[in-house]
Amino acid sequence: MFSAGIDAGTQSIKVVIYDSDRKSIVASSSSALDLIEKDGGVREQEASWWVEAIRACFSSIDSEIRKNISVISVSGQQHGFVPLSKDGKVLHSVKLWCDTSTAIECGEIESALGGREAVSAGLGNPILPGYTASKIRWLWKNHRNLYDEMAYVLLPHDYINWYLSGEVVMERGDASGTGILNIFTGKWDERAAEATAPGLIDKLPKIEEKPCIIGKISKERAEELGLPENVAIASGGGDNMMSAIGTGAVEDGFVTMSLGTSGTLFSSSSHPFHDDKLRLASFCSSTGVWLPLLCTMNCTVASETLRKLFDKDVKAFDEAAELSGPGAGGLTMLPFFNGERVPDFPHGEGVLMGMRQSNVNEENIARATLEGVTYGFILGLDAFRENGLDVKSLTLTGGGSKSRVWRQLVADMTSCPVRVPVIKEAAAFGAALHGLWCLEGGKIEDLAREHILYDDSLLSFPDVSKADVYRQGYEKWLKYTEALSTLFR
């Protein structure tokens, strides 16, 4: 069976076609997207760009492969806001997850609901900049006529589902990143909706509480994309939810660490998961359970910044870090170059601590950079454990997973074997598996074990003799972080 996964990201639309019989990707395509950037943190895209990119992707795939597709599932960048009219018109440019222009609206919503701690305890998450709720309130405040005309609030992947099938629905995984869903019940919270904008509850789509097939592709879209008219459309989900499926994080304790421009750490949880210290986002999953998640703003951002400073390519930077060794000669990097989400340092900066005449060299700084970034993930793993979720397996994805030095560092620092999937496009592949699961049924855990393959040549086992060095380094990193917190908040 051929299943298609569409990943609607910030930089591109990607499509993969997965052959479940041969357990391989038989076709893939991508199309780049532009980004509207304005002063004040505005980051937007036009929904029409996604449609054009989807058309381009499918047109570049062999027609014989397209004719054999049975199901499509969509992965989409979380938190984006698509205001749709009753007649299918997108009423405003789509404010994206990385749009921070509505921070004031976050405070207004939280204040109306009794403050951040009350919101987090009641809904499972605070209202953070980037979440959908503040974007909706912004539209209500600044474009009341458009808000009144809006019939449906959609997220990016929901809009693509609507484009493909004409169905207006939302599933609880992606919906849990809006700031309006109660993650404990999986239902819209009427108080949060009213605090966001008057009458909003009537504009929120029906929640599909379980992953499912929401309908079939419309005749018009089938002809447009060269697909069969009986192609099923699955409920899909947010990019983190689909990446969890694509990397096997579908069982308690199976953790994925993504070393991309920003960093994410997530795991499946069979029970509602709420970190009262607010280190982890308390999302629902797109598999019917929950997906606690850590997001850091600085991952390969840090390594790329220092690599360019030293004018080294990736290989040379890794070699320099390896020459230093654990502990980086006493240097500690706080890699908050873009500010930081966890720890909550909106005014954070990159800081190099512990410098002495004897230890300031490229090798130690390179090593301290990789260690400092990884300590941020250890903060998340500690939060998992403190909330009763043991780490049984650790999978690496993202550009940083290509680094042998970084893989070994993660294994040594976590005292856990580290593996890397064969298929790198975690979100698109996860969407393809999600569609297959929605169509055929069964247990998602069994599907993941059958179809997710790992590259044995990239497997890294921990060197337990280094655990104490890294634990001491992490404790020092925490002390430095706390000491500078008043400057960064």
Which residues share a beta bridge with 232? Answer: 71, 216
Dig out the tokens for 65 from the structure. Answer: 């492969």
Whether 21 is catalytic is no
Which residues share a beta bridge with 345? Answer: 340
Catalytic residue among 99, 239, 275, 318: 239
Dig out the tokens for 344 from the structure. Answer: 């909550």
Which contacts of 353-359 are long-range, i.e. CB under 8 A and separated by 24 or more positions?
353/480, 354/330, 354/476, 355/331, 356/330, 358/329, 359/328, 359/329, 359/330, 359/331
| Residue 33: burial class (beta carbons within 10 Å; 0-12, 13-18, 19+) | middle
Q: What are the residue numbers of the active site?
A: 239
